[in-house]
Structure 1
């Protein structure tokens, strides 16, 4: 019988995430990816141009291991723990995406209709990435953190602002999926 690689089930990955959060709590640290971007910008000298980046980034060096771990973990997952099978999308979702012009929905994580170089290097592609990046950056700063920081750390600490932010993330995702994405494609 052939062994088929599958994502880890919730009852394995959930307790692993909880263990990491308990360790971070024990050491007085918090988790979030957007703070790493701030640290990288500070290392690069952004503090010369904006006060937001003027802080002791050396005190956040430990958090850069999260970025390194995400890169290494992603590489290991794709190279050694992935069987290359298409993403198991709901057939209705595949049909909806085909109506929008996504011909190979589920075949790859990044649809070529958006992320192939020939589409990225068009005016439409550049505008999608630029406006999307600005909105994500603004939203992350305005919400005081990113989806991982609020949804994992903030909700685990029962923080009301994180609950409000996560609800906002979901509402924004639904609005994007059902109203804005059809207008773009």
Structure 2
């Protein structure tokens, strides 16, 4: 059972994702995490303020279970199903991140300098996290879905808007990491 503590390769996780997508298409469902935000806002009463939230949220209960499962799975995986092996990234990338001040690069999944509890006392880290969250939320709504929804579900359904969105995500990611990231840090 030692294999369960190691990161799984693409040839295991990829077919598992494809199998889930086949099942969702077979039962007429579409996967996407950001659509749950709309559902949660409707449950909280936003449908009384804006027509966008006026829909039958009970038909989306299954997707809320996916969110709970993702959070629970992430917690269990990070606390009980890991040997603390960090993601294997290129040594040049680790050196670049170290030069930018991320000394934990290559040792943890998320850099402690930005995502650790002490980062919440650093005003720059806090502003970056809040601004990043706002931009991600706006972008997901503006694009009609998040990266997982477009790249996994939309492409599985052969939707042209999802292909365009994924190309935009990729270009935006390259711009961020090569232009903005060194400028910010």
CA distance in 2, matches of 1:140, 1:42: 17
**How big is the alpha-carbon RMSD for the aligned residues of Structure 1 and Structure 2?**
1.8
CA distance in 1, matches of 2:110, 2:9: 23
Structure 1 residue 3, shift from structure 2 partner: 4.1
Alignment correspondent of 2:73: 73
Instruction: Please list the CA deviations of residues 68-104 of structure 1 after superposition, one character each: whole Å capped at 9, or x if unmatched.
Output: 2112221232233211123322100001001111112
Instruction: Say if 2:60 is the partner of 1:39.
Output: no
Structure 1 residue 172, shift from structure 2 partner: 0.8
Alignment correspondent of 2:132: 132
Change (3 A) 1:124 1:79: closer
CA distance in 2, matches of 1:76, 1:6: 14
Alignment correspondent of 1:51: 51
CA distance in 2, matches of 1:51, 1:110: 38
CA distance in 1, matches of 2:92, 2:23: 41
CA distance in 1, matches of 2:18, 2:86: 29
Change (3 A) 1:69 1:84: same
Instruction: Say if 2:96 is the partner of 1:85.
Output: no
Alignment correspondent of 1:153: 153
Change (3 A) 1:127 1:79: closer
Aligned residues: 184
CA distance in 2, matches of 1:148, 1:113: 26
Contact 2:32 2:145 in 1 (8 A): yes
Change (3 A) 1:13 1:108: same
Gaps spanning 5+ residues in structure 2: where?
Answer: none
Contact 2:6 2:85 in 1 (8 A): no
Alignment correspondent of 2:180: 180
| 3-state secondary structure, aligned to 2:74 | helix
Alignment correspondent of 2:27: 27
Moved over 6 A (4+): none
CA distance in 2, matches of 1:52, 1:106: 43
Alignment correspondent of 2:111: 111
